[in-house]
Structure 1
Amino acid sequence: MRDSVRRASSRTPERESPRAPVTDPTLGVEVSPNRAGAPRHRLVAVGDSLTQGFQSAAVFNTALSYPAIIAHELGCLPGFRYPLYGGFGGMPFNLEFFLRDLEDRYGRTVDWWEVPLALFRARNVMDRVEDYWERGPGSKVPSTTAIMHNLAVFGWDLRDALSKSADECRKRLDVPKDDLVNQIVQNAGERAALRVLPTQPAAAGALTQLGAAAELGKDTDGSGSPHGIETLIVFLGANNALRAVTELRVVWSEDSGFDDLDGKRRFTVWRPKHFIAELRKVAAQVAGIKARHVIWCTVPHVTIAPMARGVAGKTEPGSRYFPYYTRPWIKDRDFDKGRDPNITAEQARQVDDAIDAYNDAITETVLTARIKGKDWYLLETSGLMDRLASRRYAEDPLARPDWWQPYPLPSALQALSPPPNSHFLVSKNGRRADGGLFSLDGVHPTTVGYGILAQEVINVMRLAGVQFFRPDASTPRTDPVLVDFDRLIRHDTLVNRPPANVGSALNVLGWADEALDLFRRVFATL
């Protein structure tokens, strides 16, 4: 197994076919972890927006992030600590909150004579959200000495995990100004992080998210275990390539600046050698955290996210790629490569190849640790997303690699009409007509989408021997441990009651982007 992974990680980024996902989380290496005692902290997660529970361009629904879903199934949710972002639908700007406000005011359609008023209304909503988080109640950060169990922060990449602390985030806060044009919360990422990272006592303000996890790992007093953490999830790296699709620009990292908090903003995709250099530093710190089990997640192919929609037909029969990728509300017949933002098929392939190299490196990292006796596991979130990819594989049999199999949706999701898929969410007559796995930003999952990710993590945790309990926290659960998708469907407003205005959510988001340059402003905060 080790030789095959080494061969894979030494390939050039250019590949004839996509990387085959690893199917054995143990990579074929048996480990006997120290199971003495009961670690105090059953679950800790380090990551970015996907782990924080980001949806529809905002962090707000953190009680339904995938780590919180897992904590619910573990029976430890009451003691699982995560940040809260109440008020105006979270930050930086909740698209679902925005659409429902327009729907309440103008109904399902905005007539042509109402457009100026709707535009004024949209700016008013944006202004109120900005005021709340920059100058209002949302600007006051809760003070606590307890360290969060969900330590994820949206927009963070490997360098942020290594370098950013509460003290660093405070230094980066600009004096807020009431911008009449760019009405998006300033320094939204830093403001969000200050609710995640420890700030008290004063010395805690220097802790990064990895440092905070290490402090939880040291919390072993009286537990009878050498580990303060039972399961640590590490899900980082998507933001080392995500801006290629959110900004529709491919700017490769250079030898100077990729590992600098300020310099790295110039780049939208890290070259594999730069990613690997950062990964080694992250892995070295994770190795020092006292966690019984560590689950590393691979990086999903960001070009599958429906925020970058392929247009003009596949480049050739059996190809994975469309000639161009642009915004999902731009129809094929309207697309103009000289006018509309886009990346090309070749650029999309290069980004995917880079991510495949990232994942080879993550696989090698886990394999090396297991050979050294650490109980680390690989979760193929990249392969999971590939198996859910509607336009790339599910709807194009000729494009499917030999290893591809459709992902079997849980029965509760299969029973929905229509079953959720990876298309951009569309509603008609107040009901979901398409999509359902991605929220309204076209990048982050819906609640049921996060539930699928939670189920995959749970499967690995059970493989590691982690015991799950009923809500009483004392009655053991028997296999299979399954996520309660009926509960998630009830809480998933995008699946069970999507916005219905302007005919479909897709149309109104396109209108908002054209009128307000909304998506560029929102994604610039990530």
Structure 2
Amino acid sequence: MAKLVAIGDSLTQGFQSGAIYRTDWSFPAIIARSMDLKVPTDFRIPHFPGSGLPINIEEALRWMRTQLGNNIDLAEWIVRFPVLLGQFIDGVEDLYERGPGSHPAAFGGTYHNLAVWGFRVADSFTITPNYCQKAIQSEEGWIEDDFLGLPSASMYRTALRVLNPKLRQERMNWSQLDNLRQIVKEEGLENLILWLGANDSLGTVLGLELKDMENTDVTTDPIERRKWNLTNLEVFRRDFMQLVEKVQEIIPDDTQVFIGTVPHVTIPPVTQGIPPFDGKYFQYYGRFFAKKDNFSPLLSKHLKREQIEKIDARIDGFNKIIRDIVQTQGSNWHIVDTCDVLDRLAVKRNEMTDTPERPLIDYYAAKRFNDHPLLRLSPIPSILRLGLRDGKRVSGGLFSLDCVHPSTIGYGIVAEAFLTVMKEVGVPAADPVRINWSEIIAHDSLLQAPPILWQNIVSAAENNAILWDVLFNVLY
């Protein structure tokens, strides 16, 4: 019997610092360990060679340190840094376009963690290995080895490795839900985690541009859908209803289903608010390195307060749809309010900039857990951008270097949220106190040995904000 299966996007797959790499410390894997399942045997997870896809910022900085030392001077920024970055990126491209990362995996079964970064709600039943191969071929084009080019169609390469790792011909049309069907057929299923929806709005803050899907008459083609980065509410309702109906057809009647809500994407440190502040929102939202003294409304790409309010309102609409649909599915369908978790951990929005440790303290106080292992760390972690001084963490800690995805301890908090609800409904061996926090903390490389060159990156970006903003505009 399969004790646990997870379907979702990057948050469920365990994406960190720009890449999918440590799938063994995703929050479902943490949950599985707490339930005495062995990872990756009892809870099967995909493996990604090298430093993962598309680009692992943490590993890139660690490698660059071996070439540059602990600091990057002006000459190295101009000459050596671009060359080294190109070498690292070229190595990833070679690995996944022509090397072992492009070959079928030895494993030919189905994974228990079926999440794929970048997936939207509709992708769970529309993206198949056949579709992935076509997307890869289309994006690759006629240039085989691109200069400063990451592996083409990285999300689709990831999906291909998750949905059909051995490239079995009979599985080329299997979506996430078809893989779920196979697991149920072969093993049965006790518990299902379903957490999708973040990517129906996340692109707004990644690109600092609002491309609203204003019409409901839109294609179901995944690539065409990505012309918009904010899904229409009625389209989201259709997508989520279709997802739930398909899942209901697949799972046994007694399977417990746990649905995560969509977090407010405007809270993570990928964007920085620029005053004035009205008590909830800032006037402007710029890149992660934006500050009042280096930001220009004319030169810096940004979102305005009214756009952020629209994004948050749309996410609130997504979550109302999720709750309304789940309520009609029966007593074995449950909401895990992951949106509320992030809201409560917010620092700037909760006006705690001067005491960034307070949100986590208050969060655990509300749970009557005043001696939580995370509260023993110094400084107490927060969702602010990771800050270093002399190679030691002085701020942040709950988010990874991409400023969008949680760190390993951040995923531990997500695991606690799911386990709390799982315990409430009586799932055997599900209890947040069973999480081995000492093990999670020990495996959080950003806590144990943060990459020293991150200090240089942040400092250079803050001191040359307009130039860095131009560079990010090229990427997005």
TM-score w.r.t. the length of structure 2 is 0.90
- 1:147 — aligned with what? 110
Map of 1:24 onto structure 2: none
What does residue 186 of structure 1 align with? 152
State the Cα deviation string for residues 88-123 of structure 1 (Å, max 9, x = none): x11100000111122222222211122211221111
- Is 2:341 aligned against 1:379? no
1:399-432 C-alpha deviation (Å, 9 max, x unpaired): xxxxx99422872111111111010111111111
SS of alignment partner, residue 440 of structure 2: helix
CA contact (8 A) 1:427 1:499 kept: no
Residue in structure 1 matching 2:236, options 275, 283, 286? 275
Q: What letter corresponds to residue 243 of structure 1 in structure 2?
A: G
Q: Retained in 2: the 8 A contact 1:425–1:506?
A: no
Identity score, percent: 34
Provide closer, same or farther for how the CA distance between residues 137 and 513 of structure 1 changes in structure 2, counting only shifts above 3 A. Answer: farther
Shift in CA distance, 513/293, structure 1 to aligned 2, threshold 3 Å: farther
* Aligned CA distance change for structure 1 residues 297 and 503 (closer, same or farther; 3 Å): closer
Which residue identity does 2:158 align to in structure 1? A
Unaligned runs of 5+ in 1: 1-39, 221-227, 398-403, 469-476
Tell whether the 8 Å contact from 1:427 to 1:505 is kept in structure 2 after alignment: no
Contact conserved, 2:294 with 2:465, CA < 8 A, in 1?
A: no
Aligned to 1:481: 433
Deviation of the 1:495 alpha carbon: 1.6
1:79 to 2:79 alignment:
no
| 3-state DSSP of counterpart to 2:230 | coil
1:191–1:200 Cα change, 3 Å: closer
The residue number in structure 2 matching 1:473 is none
2:124 maps to 161
Please state if 1:389 is matched with 2:346.
yes
Are the counterparts in 2 of residues 432 and 496 from structure 1 also a CA contact under 8 Å? no
**Structure 2: which 5+ runs fail to align?**
355-359
Partner of 1:138: 101
CA distance in 1, matches of 2:474, 2:36: 39
**Letter in structure 2 aligned against 1:234:** L
Over the aligned positions, Cα root-mean-square deviation in angstroms equals 2.4
For 1:92, give the aligned amino acid. Answer: P
AA matched with 1:59: I
2:363 paired residue number: 407
Is 1:95 aligned to residue 57 of structure 2?
Answer: yes
Residue of 5, 14, 26 corresponding to 1:65: 26
CA displacement 1:202-240 (0-9 Å, x = unmatched): 2222111012112212235xxxxxxx1111000000000
Instruction: Check the 8 A contact 1:258/1:270 in 2, yes or no.
Output: no
In the TM superposition, residue 518 of structure 1 has moved relative to its aligned partner by 6.5
One-letter amino acid matched to 2:198? A
Asked whether the equivalents of residues 381 and 397 of structure 2 are also in contact (C-alpha less than 8 Å), the reply is: yes
Secondary structure in 2 aligned to 1:360? helix
> Distance in 1 between the 2:373 and 2:154 partners?
36
Task: Say if 1:313 and 1:322, in contact at 8 Å, map to a contact too.
Answer: yes
> Does the CA-based 8 Å contact 1:489-1:495 persist in structure 2?
yes
User: What is the one-letter code of the residue matched to 1:327?
Assistant: R
Return the match for 2:162 from 177, 196, 199: 196
**Poorly superposed stretches of 4+, deviation over 4 Å:** 178-182, 508-522
Q: Compared with structure 1, are the counterparts of its residues 232 and 447 closer, same or farther at alpha carbon in structure 2 (3 Å cutoff)? A: same
Q: Could you tell me how far apart the structure 1 residues matched to 2:57 and 2:91 are?
A: 14
Counterpart in the other structure of 2:70: 108
Is the aligned partner of 1:44 residue 2:44? no
Distance 1:144 1:364 in 2: 39
Equivalent in 340, 357, 362 of residue 322 of structure 2: 362
Query: SS state of the match for residue 313, structure 1?
Result: strand
Equivalent AA in structure 1 for residue 175 of structure 2: T
Contact map agreement 1:165 1:197 (CA 8 A) in 2: yes
